[in-house]
Amino acid sequence: MEIKSLGKTDIETIIKAFSRAFADYDIQINAEELQTMWKRRGFNPDLSFAAFEEGKIVAFTLNGIGNFNGVRMAYDTGTGTLKEHRGKGLATKIFEYSIPYLKETNINHYLLEVLQHNTKAVSVYRNIGFEIIRELNYFVWENEKIKNEIKNIEISCSIEKIDIEKHHFVSKFWDFYPSWQNSFESIQRAKEDFIGLGAFFDKKLVGYCIFEPNSGDITQIAVDKPFRRKGIASLLLHEIKKLNKITKMKLLNTDISCISIVDFLKAKNIEITGKQFEMIKNI
């Protein structure tokens, strides 16, 4: 067994290993979707590592590198082990192997998200020093199940496509800081894949959303506080649904403290699908 960087491993080999490691998972992602996801999350092959046996990948951790909350750090964009090699502690060995290489590039923090019901993984991360910093909800729904009747709009708004780079003040609309994959930096890495929509009242931007139509992913959606409960988010959701190219939509990693999102989606017949922990370790 040899652990080494994936810097010299071709992308097709990495994709094949990822697909095999997650073959027994409910949700499957094709090669194109994987590469889009990795680009958005800042995947860096040189600072990602895998365990090889007889020249083949049997376990891996794919690391994204970037800034989060103004701090340079590494982010786990995919950790997996082939089924026949599980239970050997390979994920921990790969993580420990990677630490000196990450520190050499001035990375002193490592961030990840893990499903709360994956108690085995949560336990592993706790044992190697990760701490929970946030709890996150995620929502996934079928397009036809959403209840989004547009009525009782209290103000007259126009919905227009926007370049979100020209509207960074929208962070003032937030109730929580976006997770790694939903941050402005992640969106910027793959900006050609996103559509930005703005709600304008009297030529003023009062609400917005950022949406990835090929995956159905609503990356950010928020309304300026004085303009909430006036139907603006419903208008945005209505436009997103028309632009969506697949049968499902999702809104991932909303802070559990943000009750406004939960209540808004519940009114649309959308319940919480699951929960994650956001965890961090100083390295």
pLDDT value at residue 153: 64
Residues 259 and 144 in one domain: yes
- Tell how strand 49-53 and strand 204-212 pair up: unpaired
Residues 35 and 92 in one domain: yes
Q: How far is CA 272 from CA 118, 135, 260, in A?
A: 17, 13, 13
Residues 143 and 223 in one domain: yes
Collapse the DSSP code of 160 into the 3-class scheme (helix H, G, I; strand E, B; otherwise coil) and give the result. strand
Q: Is residue 133 part of a domain?
A: no
Domain closes at, from 67, 86, 107: 107
CATH of the domain at 7: 3.40.630.30
Q: Is residue 122 part of a domain?
A: no
pLDDT value at residue 154: 66
Task: Please give the structure tokens belonging to residue 147.
Answer: 């209840």
pLDDT value at residue 201: 94
Residue 7's pLDDT band (boundaries 50, 70, 90)?
very high
Residues 95 and 153 in one domain: no
Domain closes at, from 107, 129, 161: 107
Residues 267 and 151 in one domain: yes
Q: How many domains is the chain partitioned into structurally?
A: 2
pLDDT value at residue 151: 60
Which has the closest alpha carbon to 78: 40, 116, 131?
A: 40
pLDDT value at residue 39: 95
Q: Is residue 129 part of a domain?
A: no
Give Cα 221 distance to the centre of its chain.
Answer: 14
Residues 144 and 239 in one domain: yes
Angle at 6 (CA atoms; ends 4, 7), nearest 5 degrees: 110
pLDDT value at residue 5: 98
Q: Is residue 121 part of a domain?
A: no
pLDDT value at residue 28: 66
Q: Is residue 23 part of a domain?
A: yes
Summarize the confidence of residues 141-163 as an average pLDDT: 82
pLDDT value at residue 145: 86
pTM for the full predicted model: 0.91
Radius of gyration of the chain (CA): 20
Domain that holds residue 266: 139-276
Collapse the DSSP code of 75 into the 3-class scheme (helix H, G, I; strand E, B; otherwise coil) and give the result. strand
Q: Is 51 left (phi over 0), alpha (psi -120 to 50) or beta?
A: beta
Question: What span, in angstroms and rounded, lies between the C-alpha atoms of 110 and 79?
Answer: 13
Q: Is residue 115 part of a domain?
A: no
Q: What is the pLDDT of residues 109-135, one digit of tens each?
A: 999 999 999 998 899 999 999 999 999
Residue 169's pLDDT band (boundaries 50, 70, 90)?
confident
Residues 159 and 265 in one domain: yes
Question: What span, in angstroms and rounded, lies between the C-alpha atoms of 122 and 279?
Answer: 9
Q: Is residue 120 part of a domain?
A: no
pLDDT above 90: residue 165: no
Residues 207 and 272 in one domain: yes
Residues 255 and 150 in one domain: yes
Q: Is residue 249 part of a domain?
A: yes
Residue 149's pLDDT band (boundaries 50, 70, 90)?
low
Sequence-ordered list of residues with C-beta below 8 angstroms from that of 137, at least 6 positions apart, any chain: 253, 254, 255, 256, 261, 262, 272, 274, 275, 276
Percent of the chain with pLDDT over 70: 96
pLDDT value at residue 152: 62
Residues 246 and 166 in one domain: yes
